[in-house]
Amino acid sequence: MSKRIETTDLNVYYSDFRAVEDVTITIQPRAITAFIGPSGCGKSTFLRTLNRMHEVIPGARVEGEVLLDGENLYGAGVDPVRVRRQVGMVFQRPNPFPTMSIRENVLAGIKLNFSRMPKGEQDDLVERSLRSANLWEEVKNRLGLPGSGLSGGQQQRRCIARAIAMAPAVLLMDEPCSALDPISTLAIEDLMSELKEKYTIVIVTHNMQQAARVSDTTAFFNIAGTGSPGRLIESGPTDKIFSTPDVQATEDYISGRFG
Amino acid sequence: MTAITHRLGSETLTAGRLPKATIPVAIAASAVLGYALAVLASGTANIGLAILFAFLVFLVTVEITTRVVEGARQAADRRAGNLIAGAFLLALVPLGSVTFEAVSNGLARFDLAFFTQSMRNVVGEGGGAVHAIYGTVYVTGMATVISVPIGLLTAIYLAEYGVRNRLSKAITFFVDVMTGVPSIVAGLFAYALMGLLLGPGARSGFEGSIALSVLMIPVVVRSCEELLRLVPNELREAAYALGVPKWLTIVRVVIPTAISGIISGVILAIARVIGETAPLLIAAGFTASLNNNLFANPMMTLPVFVYDSYAHPGTDVQVYWDRAWAGALTLILIVMILNLVGRLIARRFAPKTGR
Ligand SMILES: Nc1ncnc2c1ncn2[C@@H]1O[C@H](COP(=O)(O)OP(=O)(O)OP(=O)(O)O)[C@@H](O)[C@H]1O
Ligand SMILES: [Mg+2]
């Protein structure tokens, strides 16, 4: 059920400030695409336009097209709520619902929407999602307890479980490992490699090794200077971007000779 | 590059310590000295003056001994701590005094008759406040029923939908103005409103509820708005990212996260209006008998009962004043019970923590 994303000439604004300029990119299904680039170049901003999360910020707007398997997400009559059910998102910081137990958190997407689901199916979905997120063994004995006692890495994996319980076509991850130790990071990277069999995965990362390790395609974003909009400099197969990029700036950034 | 050479204080890591017994000893000594000073100053044993002198003596003693033995920083720490403790004790004085007075004077008539009889056909001894207790429960209950939905919905609009737009700025401004409306004006408003609708001179418990709502709504709006704003945006985004519509996010994520605070806010708002006298005097009026119909005829309430018993005693003044004190004690107890219940509910709904 994995889907392809294409954007053409996408411009993203915060009120009058243009944060991202003219991004045209194709994101392949059943693959991991990594966004890299210096802080403030608009990676998160661009990522959030892919599931229409950008517009929840007052004054924020988007110009251009985002096609999900050919269908424009910003077309007339498109319901952002339906878009977000197909394009899931994992945030930089784990954001579990504090009023819910571990189990309820995993089922949050279903429960909050009042969808009816027999208990047996629910149990099954919880187990499958938590297993996919490599968390089942650690929490199976305390599913009914509040999740605040989980470690940071466990919480992040629970948020991933929550996102995949919705069976999205695309999974967007904004620096999912930035607060995690190397072991949890590896667990999540393994998880991404498994998940790409079924989902289109887009990940933002500041960790060059991570991008090189897990991604199939890498896209490099950059800004000319503060106040100017971020641009997509180049994108291509990860091997190529990391060995023989077309643009000098990409090579400088990757090899740490940036700025 | 020159090295930084200045030092904060001396090179040693240890500092003198006052023995543990210093503070109790200082308190005892200051008490004796303060009492002596008060007797010297006023000629009599004035307890207030004695405490004031004792506190001043205590401050000075602690300051000097600490400064000499432990140093200036510790002296400043002790000074601030002592002033804070002093302010706290001072603030407790009216609270303790009111509680003591209400209990000691109110217990005289805090009996079964007080809670089972009204003042119907009572002149002189006996009688009770059952009509006023019911009235207070009805009137404030109705005021809560009116105010909480209006207040909560307004707060939701302000915090979730109308962020920083013109309408919400205007609403915030008028809510602030409403907070400052004198309560008697709220009573006059309710009286005039019902006069227009039902003809002049109408008085009912419901009219009292309207008056109280005018006072309660702004309090509910402000506290609920603050609490909704405290809910982290990340939770809203987490729900949106799962494809949950905005209204469901508010109903099922934002409000449950803030519910314990919202309940405390509502209870505080009730406590704020339950003791209002002036607006009820105008809008709900007074009567000596039990009225179970919120929508017709005057309805007695506890604050009005207290006021009436105190201001219009019959021939046997003490009997009326005893009833007034018992009424005041009942009111305090009701507010206290409300607070306890609120805390229990809040704890029941608070976000779950722990493993
Ligand atoms: N809510 C907002 N309102 C206004 N401007 C914003 C907002 N969020 C981000 N920006 C601006 O948009 C630009 C891009 O920000 P963005 O968060 O997308 O960067 P990023 O590439 O994700 O950086 P980082 O790697 O540090 O996360 C920055 O100039 C930032 O200041
Ligand atoms: Mg970012």
Task: Work out the pLDDT band at B2, boundaries 50, 70, 90.
Answer: low
Instruction: Give the tens place of pLDDT for each residue, A173-213.
Output: 999 888 778 887 888 898 889 888 888 999 999 999 999 99
Range of the domain at A161: 5-254
Amino acid B72 reads A
Check B243 against A82: CB less than 8 A apart.
Answer: yes
Specify the pTM. 0.83
Nearest-atom number in ligand 1 for the CA of A221 is: 21
CB contact under 8 A, B257 and A98: yes
pLDDT of residue B354: 43
Ligand 2 centroid to A43 CA: how many Å?
6
B-chain CB neighbours of A115 within 8 Å are none
The ipTM, to two decimals, is 0.90
Residue A182 DSSP SS3? helix
In this predicted model, what pLDDT tens digit does every residue of A62-103 receive, in sequence order? 999 999 999 999 999 999 999 999 999 999 888 889 888 999
Per-residue CA distances from B5 to A42, B2, B8, B11, B73 (Å)? 45, 9, 10, 12, 22
Query: pLDDT tens, B120-155?
Result: 888 888 888 999 999 999 999 999 999 999 999 999
Phi, psi of A8 (to 5 degrees): -130, 125
Determine if ligand 1 sits within 6 Å of the CB of residue A45.
Answer: yes
A141 inside 8 A of chain B by CB: no
Greatest distance between any 2 Cα atoms in chain A? 56
Contact A81 B245 (CB under 8 A): yes
Residue B355: pLDDT band (50, 70, 90) is very low
The answer to whether residue A29 is domain-embedded is yes
Contacts of B190 (CB under 8 A, 6+ apart): B207, B208, B210, B211, B214, B279, B282, B283
Residue A67: what are its φ and ψ, rounded to 5°?
-100, 130
Domain count of chain A?
A: 1
Round the CA-based radius of gyration of chain B to a whole number and report it: 28
Contacts of A99 in chain B (CB under 8 A): 253, 256-257, 351-352
Specify the CATH architecture of the domain B114-349.
Orthogonal Bundle (1.10)
Q: In the predicted model, what is the mean pLDDT of chain B?
A: 89
Mean pLDDT for all residues in chain A: 90
Q: What is the DSSP letter of A34?
A: E
Q: Whose CA is nearest to atom 30 of ligand 1?
A: A40
Using a CB-CB cut-off of 8 Å, the residues of chain B touching A162 are 238, 242
Q: What is the mean predicted confidence (pLDDT) over B44-57?
A: 86
Taking only the tens place, the pLDDT of each residue in B162-212 is 887 899 999 999 999 999 999 999 999 999 999 999 888 889 999 999 999
Domain assignment present for A259: no
Locate the domains of chain B by residue range.
Answer: 2-108, 114-349
Give the H or E element holding residue A237: strand A230-237
pLDDT band at B8 (very low <50, low <70, confident <90, very high): low
* Residues ≥6 apart with Cβ < 8 Å to B63: B75, B78, B79
Q: Kindly indicate the confidence band of residue B70, based on its pLDDT and cuts at 50, 70 and 90.
A: confident
Determine the residue of chain B that is closest to A84 in CA distance.
Answer: B243
Ligand 1 neighbour A156 (Cβ under 6 A): no
Question: A120 in a domain, yes or no?
Answer: yes
Q: How far is B249 from B227, CA to CA, in rounded Å?
A: 16
Who among A93, A109, A149 is closest to B242 (CB)?
A109
Mean pLDDT, range A126-132, rounded to an integer = 90
| Contact yes or no for B235 and A82 at CB 8 A | no
The b-or-e profile of B241-276 (16+ CB within 10 A means b, else e) is: bbbbbbeebbebbbbbbbbbbbbbbbbebbbebbbb
Digit-coded pLDDT (tens) for A145-178:
887 788 888 888 899 899 989 889 999 999 988 8
For residue A129, the domain's CATH number is 3.40.50.300
- Establish if A142 belongs to a structural domain: yes
